[in-house]
Amino acid sequence: MSLLEIRGLTVTMGVQEILHGVDLDVAERGIVAVLGSNGVGKTTLMRAISGIYKPKAGTIRFKGEDISKLKSHEIVARGLLQAPEGRQIFSSMSVRENLVIGGGAHGLSELERILVLFPKLGERMSQIAGSLSGGEQQMLCIARALMAKPSILLLDEPSLGLAPKFVKGIFDLVSQIRDEGLSILIVEQNAKAALRIADRAAVMESGRIALEGRAVDLAGDPRIVEAYLGGHVHTV
């Protein structure tokens, strides 16, 4: 049984159907990358898993339990956390306050462990979060999610808008987090870097999974190379 098992997930927005029966699995300690062009439904998928959008049909099993009808906070409480697209940190609060809020009941005991992974944040604990650089804000967003001790982390475009030196840092960090025992579902435009750290990958096209397989196989698949790795991909 997979840690996260999605079957026939269908999501509508008004009269428009955005996801048309998505099947996807994330194994324990697995990294699954979701690739796809703009507007194919990647963020919608992430939001449906997090309970922000309610599916019209299908199931989302997490640790064997169907979470598709639960509220977002109930899903968070079960250990599924999303670091959202566009980094929603509390910008007028300090780095420390952001982290402690993320930790909830775990609070300070988690902080020390997290700061080992994020030494840069440790140096900036009193700084107002809104004054961090883009890359640092992204780190804070991920660190805050980790404070809640999730068993799976959903990352929606963590490298978006970051300078190359930060991009490498983010992907290294994701690998490191997995090594600590978490599972990760990551949406990325940076297909090359995502396929490098992922075990498995899925390609979305207009609300469906068009292709799924081992990341190494997809990285060598001519269709992927042409569509996602061909010349326009940033190198890390």
> What residue ranges bind ligand ATP (CB under 6 A)?
13, 18, 36, 38-44
108 interacts with, out of ligand ATP, Mg ion, none, CB within 5 to 8 A per kind: none
Minimal distance, residue 125 CB to ligand ATP, in Å: 32
* Tokens 């690998």 found at: 175
C-beta of 131 vs 206, nearer to ligand ATP: 206
82 binds Mg ion (CB under 5 A): no
Per the CB < 8 A criterion, the answer to whether 28 and 178 are in contact is no
Per the CB < 8 A criterion, the answer to whether 181 and 224 are in contact is no
43 binds Mg ion (CB under 5 A): yes
- SS3 assignment, position 219: helix
C-beta of 111 vs 209, nearer to ligand ATP: 209
13 interacts with, out of ligand ATP, Mg ion, none, CB within 5 to 8 A per kind: ligand ATP
Minimal distance, residue 189 CB to Mg ion, in Å: 9
183 binds Mg ion (CB under 5 A): no
Provide DSSP, 93-153.
Answer: SBHHHHHHHHHGGGHHHHHHHHHHH-HHHHTTTTSBGGGS-HHHHHHHHHHHHHHT--SEE
220 interacts with, out of Mg ion, ligand ATP, none, CB within 5 to 8 A per kind: none
* Residue 166 to residue 147: CA distance in whole angstroms: 21
Query: How is residue 11 written in tokens?
Result: 């999501």
For β-strands 152-156 and 80-83, DSSP reports them as parallel
Please work out the total of residues on this chain that contact Mg ion, with binding judged by CB under 5 A: 2
C-beta of 136 vs 156, nearer to Mg ion: 156
Minimal distance, residue 50 CB to ligand ATP, in Å: 13
40 interacts with, out of Mg ion, ligand ATP, none, CB within 5 to 8 A per kind: ligand ATP
178 interacts with, out of Mg ion, ligand ATP, none, CB within 5 to 8 A per kind: none
44 interacts with, out of Mg ion, ligand ATP, none, CB within 5 to 8 A per kind: ligand ATP
| DSSP code, position 234 | P
Per the CB < 8 A criterion, the answer to whether 183 and 34 are in contact is no
Could you tell me where the DSSP H helices lie in the chain?
A: 42-49, 72-77, 95-103, 107-117, 119-122, 134-147, 164-179, 191-197, 215-219, 222-228
Minimal distance, residue 213 CB to ligand ATP, in Å: 20
**Residues found near Mg ion in the complex (CB under 5 A):** 42-43
